[in-house]
Amino acid sequence: RNELWAAIGGLPEEHREVLLLFYCDNLSYDAVAELLDVSRATVNARLAKARDLLRRRLDPEGERRRELHQRS
């Protein structure tokens, strides 16, 4: 749990904010978009990037395996 929160804390603010609003505050994409005054597409892109960054930080070995697999 501490590792997850540390990884979330290390995200760029725009990605961390969207992630927390969506998962912790249980807001919809539309609600997050309205609150942040951005498009739904921007919320989608930021959330996807946040997930990717967390995946890379929390499972660097798994990320390396995925990269190797994609190259072959």
Question: Would you state the pLDDT for residue 15?
Answer: 98
Question: Would you state the pLDDT for residue 66?
Answer: 63
| Mean pLDDT for back-to-back runs of 10 residues, the chain (72 residues) | 93 97 97 98 98 91 66 70
Question: Which tokens is 59 given?
Answer: 């499972």
Question: Would you state the pLDDT for residue 45?
Answer: 98
Ramachandran sector of residue 37 (left: φ over 0; alpha: ψ -120 to 50; beta: rest): left
pTM here?
0.79
